[in-house]
Structure 1
Amino acid sequence: MTMPTSQCPWRMQVHHIHQETPDVWTLSLLCHDYYPYRAGQYALVSVRNSAETLRAYTLSSTPGVSEYITLTVRRIDEGTGSQWLTREVKRGDYLWLSDAMGEFTCDDKAEDKFLLLAAGCGVTPIMAMRRWLAKYRPQADVQVIYNVRSPEDVIFAEEWRNYPVTLVAEHNATHGFVAGRLTRELLQSVPDLASRTVMTCGPAPYMEKVEQDVAALGVTPLL
């Protein structure tokens, strides 16, 4: 029996694991207690029940919508946490999580127009918030632009069929994808850009470019 650590007191059991892309998996967890969190937040995970080895992962599920608490993890070659979660952890195992943390959320935004921008695994909090807006703000006008390396790298591919989304593929773009990367011109094509709450998540270079491009168009993004 594994035991809680001071920073990770929440015990959750792995119900099932789903492979999203060639290098990304979603772990669906059962928590037998009420686990309070907000769409877009993250939690620390105790790697191998260690008090010293902790890794932060977005809670890719959505409170009040998702059946399970989920972690969506990209396997990194030298990643201690991601290697363990995607290679060793199996159905029925227990994980220990911290309280949910972070202020990158949409439930405190009064506006009803959003532009959600994501690249790679940065889509995890974006999808959590997209579900939340669909459930609790069905009147909201939500535009999503999601950048991936190639079409096979789209995380939550089936679920995106439920929501309007512009998919941008850097390589091998096929039908339904914009070829290349996010550009200022693509941002300018978003209706009512200046009146939208712009929220973005992705690798650092992507975030820096988005911040520059959006600012040049007169909007300050929430990072």
Structure 2
Amino acid sequence: MTGVHLYRHLDEMAPWNDRLQVLEVAGIVDEAPEVKTFTFRSDAQTWFRYKPGQFITLELPTADGPLMRTYTLASSPSRPFSISITVKAQAGSIGTRWMFDNLKRGSRIKARGPAGDFSHHNHAAGKYLFISAGSGITPMMSMLRWLNDCAPWTDIAFVNCARRPEEIIFRKELELLGANMPGLSLGFMIEERSSRESWFGHMGRIDAVRLPLLSPDFHEREVFCCGPDPFMRAVRTMLEATGFDMAHYHQESFGAPPVEIPPPATTEAGAVVPAEATVPVRFASSNVDGQCVPGQTVLQAARASGVRISAACEFGLCGTCRVRKVSGDVEMNHNGGILDEEIAEGYILACCSKPLTALEIEA
């Protein structure tokens, strides 16, 4: 890319299209022990359009085959020329460890998205409370960075919990924002002291006694929570016990919702459809004809037929398994992983779509 092409105005550029372009690593920064930020730009000259708090799904080309992993964007769409994710390598993590060991400046990688509904853009409020633990801070940071750029006077209580002081991700940036955003109050809480850094702040775990110290008026705020599942359960239980209006509570989770076992399929006359009844599914790009048994999704039918459809969350949230339907009808119960305009174009999510008639898809 020549130098002159690096300086185009935003209105001269098209938004990034995950069907046509891949991401290029523009920078890698160490944030905390076993935590890195990867910054990406488009391999074409495009800009990124998304809501603060949304996520993308990366396709990691590991030695054992493509591995799909979903990561929240820590960057803000108010700075649309790049995006960033901040990830922690947990014990036994495969995808994140692969990224640590293999991604370098200039590396290229496929991605899908952005997707997700966890954003303050969907819940406008006069006051916010962002509660996070560990790497769950990333969507909060995306929202805070957007607010700093676009509405720096907003009243925000930002509470982050970590095991040790040095494990507070983005601590220096948060302290700088706290000095410049008049409505931002920061509250850090750690579980144990460290020999690496002195600590004079709150210690312990967030509970009904400590939360009012960090945000006395939390009942008046729109609450966003993200962190490990036990942490989010504890926060939710605590808020419910205080009488908080849970309609103003929102949490980010990539865990699947409870599975409901559907009743046996019936015909219009009310007769139960035999278990052996199947629906033909044509996988056009693979030139494979398969069968989908009652209750089975298109993704399950594809796997049974030896057809690979990329998938990550597998419950309709991430949008990774989006494929175009050529003909036929499906019942699709998703969790926000596909846009209305994509549905209008004929796309479905294979993981949560069940054929109602003979089906042909591009896969």
Alignment match of 2:48 (pick from 35, 53, 56)? 35
| Stretch of structure 1 that moved more, 153-162 or 168-177 | 168-177
Q: How does 1:1-223 map to 2 (within 5 A)?
A: 9-31=20-42, 32-48=45-61, 52-65=66-79, 68-161=82-175, 162-163=177-178, 164-172=185-193, 174-189=198-213, 190-219=215-244, 220=246, 221-223=249-251
Aligned residues: 217
**More relative contact order, 1 or 2 (CA 8 Å, 6+ apart):** 1
TM-score w.r.t. the length of structure 1 is 0.90
Q: CA deviation at 1:10?
A: 3.8
Matched residues in 1 for 2:21 and 2:224: separation?
A: 29
In structure 2, what residue type is equivalent to 1:216?
Answer: A
Contact 1:14 1:94 (8 Å CA) reproduced: yes
Quote the RMSD (CA, aligned, Å): 2.0
1:46–1:96 CA contact under 8 A, matched in 2 = yes
Q: Do 2:48 and 2:77's aligned partners in 1 also have CA atoms closer than 8 Å?
A: no
Which moved further from structure 2: 24-33 or 173-182?
Answer: 173-182
Paired-residue identity, %: 29
Larger of the two Rg values belongs to structure: 2
Task: State the TM-score, normalizing by the size of structure 2.
Answer: 0.56
* Residues in 1 aligned to 2:134 and 2:24: alpha-carbon distance in whole angstroms: 27
Q: How far apart are the structure 2 equivalents of 1:119 and 1:138?
A: 23
The amino acid of 1:195's aligned partner reads: E
Give 1:186 shift. 1.7
> In structure 2, how many angstroms separate the alpha carbons of the residues matched to 1:158 and 1:8?
37
> How far apart, CA to CA, are the structure 1 residues paired with 2:98 and 2:87?
10
Q: Please give the alpha-carbon distance, in whole angstroms, between the structure 2 residues aligned to 1:108 and 1:222.
A: 10
Structure 2: which 5+ runs fail to align? 1-17, 179-184, 252-363
Where does structure 1 lack aligned partners over 5 or more consecutive residues? 1-6
